[in-house]
């Protein structure tokens, strides 16, 4: 597949001993480089009926997703930072040819703010849970590299299904394994100066410290994940149980 960081979220066991089903919830990077055969595989073999693009309008326009014949496409930005950068979370574009210490600190601060704010009042994630409850076909959600905006969304899905927080973090960190290019190779393609390459690794992969910012923000605002999901996503106990019934066995 010509998709960065592509995978389904499955196999994890929740607090009641139920296992996430295979091949129902898919995540990854943008769909601008897939072939017709791969698109057919998406729609016919994987039965994906909803594609939710978390990039902003400019990102999505610059690298347009493939136009599917059957699957519905929606673009809703998942960024919630107050000072929105025109490149969004496309750090490859931000740092290409112009990385230095000042630029790195600026981008890192932007990234951290994103992780602190994405879980709250987010129409992109609200729509994601609406589609999951609708259950009229499998779903694929993505951003540019499928690691930050997509990573937070994957974490939230697992927590809504009653998974262990450690497993949800583990799933988030799998992006470091699934990204198709190593950081050294990618840094070379982006012309990042040698002396800054190790410094830039957090921007080209994921770090546990980042998702912990999301976790601490949720716990700082709400007494429990139950309260968080009901207040932010209108997912009460009945709806949470419905999600578990659909996506676990």
Say if residue 64's pLDDT is above 70.
yes
**DSSP summary character for residue 43:** I
The CA distance from 138 to 118, in Å, is 23
pLDDT tier for residue 4 given thresholds of 50, 70 and 90: confident
| Strands 7-8 vs 25-28: parallel, antiparallel or unpaired | antiparallel
| The pLDDT of residue 112 | 92
The better pLDDT of the pair 59, 212 is held by: 212
Asked whether 84 and 113 are in contact (CB, 8 A), the reply is: no
Q: What is the pLDDT of residue 204?
A: 78
Residue-level pLDDT at 182 = 54
Residue 83 pLDDT more than 70? Answer: no
Least confident of 67-76, 96-105, 155-164, 216-225: 96-105
**Range 7-247 classified under CATH 3.30.420.40:** no
* pLDDT value for 86: 53
List the domain boundaries for the chain.
7-247
Give percent of the chain above pLDDT 70. Answer: 87
**Confidence at 205, pLDDT banded by 50, 70, 90:** confident
pLDDT category of residue 195 using cuts at 50, 70 and 90: confident
The angle formed by the CA atoms of residues 47, 2 and 191, to the nearest 5 degrees, is 150
Residue 96 Cα to chain centre, angstroms: 22
Convert 81-105 to b/e letters by CB count within 10 Å (16 or more is b).
Answer: beeebebbbbbbebbeeebeeeebe
pLDDT in tens, 216-244: 999 999 999 999 999 999 999 999 999 99
Can you give the pTM of this predicted structure? 0.91
Convert the pLDDT of each residue in 85-136 to its tens digit.
555 565 666 666 566 777 778 888 888 999 999 999 999 999 999 999 999 9
pLDDT at residue number 162: 98
* β-pair partners for 8: 26
The per-residue DSSP string of 62-87 comes to: HTPPP--SSSEEEE------SS--TT
């Amino acid at each position: 597949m010509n998709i960065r960081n592509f995978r389904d979220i499955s196999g994890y066991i929740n607090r009641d001993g139920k296992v996430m089903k295979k091949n129902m919830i898919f995540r990854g990077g943008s769909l601008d480089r897939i072939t017709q055969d791969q698109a057919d595989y998406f729609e016919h073999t994987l039965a994906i009926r909803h594609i939710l693009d978390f990039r902003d309008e400019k990102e999505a326009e610059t690298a347009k997703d493939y136009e599917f014949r059957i699957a519905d496409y929606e673009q809703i930005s998942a960024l919630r930072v107050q000072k929105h950068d025109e490149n969004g979370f496309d750090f490859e574009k931000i740092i290409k040819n112009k990385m230095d210490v000042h630029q790195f600190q600026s981008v890192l601060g932007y990234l951290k703010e994103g992780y602190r704010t994405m879980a709250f009042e987010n129409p992109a994630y609200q729509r994601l849970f609406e589609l999951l409850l609708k259950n009229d076909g499998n779903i694929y959600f993505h951003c540019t590299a499928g690691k930050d905006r997509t990573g937070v969304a994957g974490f939230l899905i697992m927590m809504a299904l009653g998974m262990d927080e450690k497993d949800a973090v583990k799933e988030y960190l799998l992006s470091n394994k699934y990204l198709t290019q190593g950081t050294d190779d990618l840094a070379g393609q982006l012309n990042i100066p040698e002396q800054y390459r190790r410094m830039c690794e957090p921007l080209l992969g994921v770090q546990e410290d980042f998702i912990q910012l999301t976790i601490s923000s949720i716990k700082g605002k709400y007494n429990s994940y139950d309260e968080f999901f009901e207040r932010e996503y209108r997912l009460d106990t009945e709806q949470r149980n419905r999600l578990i019934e659909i996506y676990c066995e």
